[in-house]
A and B are shown apart, each in its own frame.
Chain A
Amino acid sequence: MLEESIEKAASTLKLPKDVVLGEVLVSFLGRHSVVIENYRSIILYTDNFIKLQAKNCRVNITGSRLMIEYYTNEEMKINGFIKSLEFE
């Protein structure tokens, strides 16, 4: 209920939703690089599977030779051969 009202407010005020709602923001650069913003934590990290916790969902990335180029509190960049990205 609260979330919905916040979303409405954000859309009427034309504020960026990723900032206001804290939703995960995924941007791909081709299939070799992906930047994930607004994630919470890493749940699992292996060579071919990465599972991240976001605010209200989980993000699964599958691929091979996955490498975390850098990561900070808000942002993470993953390089490698990316096969798929799923939400749970």
Chain B
Amino acid sequence: MIEWLNRHFFGYLFIEMSGFSPERFLNMCTVHEIELWKVVNTGPTYQFFMTVPGFRKIKPLVRKSKVRLRILKKFGLPFFLYRNRRRKFYAAGFFGFFVIIYALSLFIWDIEFDGNRMYTYDTLLKYCESEQIRYGMQKSKIDCDALEESLRTSFPEITWVSARVSGTRLLVKIKENEVLSEIPVKDETPCDIVAEKDGIITSMIVRSGIPMVSVGDTITKGQVLVSSAIPIIGDSEEIVNTHYVHSEADIRAKTEYHEERKVPLYRKIDVETGKVRKGLYVKAFNTSFLLMRPRPDGTSWKKTMEEEQLHLFQNFYLPIYIGNITGKEFISYERPYTEEEKKQLADNINKEFEKKLLEKGVQILENRVKILDNESLCQITMDLITDEPVGRQEAFKIQTTEEQKETNHSDERN
């Protein structure tokens, strides 16, 4: 390989030799360490290859051995350059390529975060931007240690950061704390538990506070279920003092949901015609270029695009994006729902609703779906009977009203 490069860099010649004693010439070449190869005898003449530096040295040998040399062909870089000496722009382009590649390698063209679970890519990127680290900035201006330090201090959940610049990418590796960094402080402020919805209580577990209702009671929204005021009754059976606690309870109640959805009777259907238009899209810096046939008038297309950043090697990203656009033609028309489709639709809506409830921790006891057709609309009604936690802690603020009540009582007594 090195030999090959050497030959091409300095150039080599294909030479024809004729004369009195070619063998002597060959031997003298070895003595003077002049490289010859592929020596062929073709009748009266000999042909061989020789390097240009070797050729410069053989003049005395030629005279001694009385041979005649004729250059048949020239190879290698010096001859190539000489042949193309007029093509200045070609050379300029060739060197320009390297200059541009070098210039591009001085900037950051991709920022990658790895290991982040709690913080999204956008949050971290925004933070980096506030720290003057952004896409397209100069590589030399990045201080990885400072970035690590500031990331650790600004995001307490991040326990370990490693930032490094590789090629034209900034790679940030993050380890987040897996356990909670602080224990939630127990809320001790006095509060009541208030009903969130209307319903009938099915179960009650009260841990602190005084229950105001019992299992089987019908409650309405906003009703106090567990009171935080614990009266302290003295020996003479009168209220000496009232002690307010942070009430806690699990209260479940049978509740009802009524949901109504209106769906137009006609549905819009998009049918693909099977015609596909493909296009290319190139984006560099802030300019983009679209390569796609224009769409024929009166047709509608659905387009999808896949964008990819160009990179030379694994970590040499370039600020050039290439997108593949696929357009599919479709025709849309409207037609009424069939009975089956209606059922399907109602089912889907119902399932979605159920899922939402289940996520909230609601248990579903009964579920009825009805489909009613109007002239213009299709009405889907859902009646659900459910079992769910209804207690909601509400900051204690009834003090004043109670005081009022007390004053009222006192008035009555008076």
A66 to B46 CA separation, bound complex (whole angstroms): 12
Nearest-CB residue, chain A, relative to B47: A67
Counting CB contacts under 8 A, is A73 at the interface? yes
Contact-residue size bin, chain B (C-beta under 8 Å from the other chain)? 10 to 19
| Identity of the chain A residue whose Cβ is nearest the Cβ of B31 in the assembled complex | A73
**Per-position 1/0 for A4-33, Cβ under 8 A of B:** 000000000000000000000000000000
Contact with A along B230-250 (1 / 0, CB 8 A): 000000000000000000000
A45–B23 contact, CB under 8 A?
Answer: yes
Residues of chain A contacted by B22 (CB below 8 angstroms)? 45
Number of A-B residue pairs having CB atoms within 8 Å of each other in the complex = 44
Q: Is A43 an interface residue (CB 8 A)?
A: yes
A68 touches B38 (CB 8 A): yes
Q: Nearest chain A CB to B139's CB is how many angstroms away?
A: 48
Contacting residues of chain B (336-391) with chain A, CB-CB under 8 angstroms: none
A-side interface residues, number (CB < 8 Å):
15
Chain B window 16-50, contacts with chain A (Cβ cutoff 8 Å), 1 for yes, 0 for no: 00000011001100110101111111110010100
**CB–CB B37/A70 < 8 A:** yes
Task: List residues of chain A with CB within 8 A of the CB of B26.
Answer: 42, 45, 71
A72 in the interface (beta carbon within 8 A): yes
Given A42-B23, A44-B23, A45-B23, A73 and B42 touching (CB < 8 A)? no
Residue among B23, B31, B40 making CB contact with A67, cutoff 8 Å: B40
The one of A41, A44, A68, A73 that contacts B39, using a Cβ cutoff of 8 Å:
A68
Contact of A67 with B38 at beta-carbon distance under 8 Å, contacts A42-B27, A72-B30 already known: yes
Which residues does chain A contribute within 8 Å of B35, judged by CB atoms? 72
Q: Choose from B27, B31, B38, B41 the contact partner of A69 (Cβ within 8 Å).
A: B38
* Distance of A66 Cα from B26 Cα, bound (Å): 15
Residue of B nearest to A50 (CB): B41
Residue of B22, B27, B41, B46 contacting most chain A CB atoms (<10 Å): B41
Residue of B nearest to A47 (CB): B41
CA–CA, A73 to B230, complex, Å? Answer: 113
Known interface pairs A41-B27, A45-B22, A45-B26. Does A70 touch B38 (Cβ–Cβ under 8 Å)? yes
Distance, CA A57 to CA B22, complexed state (A): 22
Complex Cα distance, B162 from A67, in Å, reads: 62
- 28 example contacts (A-B, Cβ-Cβ < 8 A) are as follows A41-B23, A41-B27, A42-B23, A42-B26, A42-B27, A45-B39, A45-B46, A46-B41, A47-B41, A47-B42, A66-B41, A67-B38, A67-B39, A67-B40, A67-B41, A68-B36, A68-B37, A68-B38, A68-B40, A68-B48, A70-B36, A70-B37, A70-B38, A71-B26, A71-B30, A71-B39, A72-B30, A72-B35
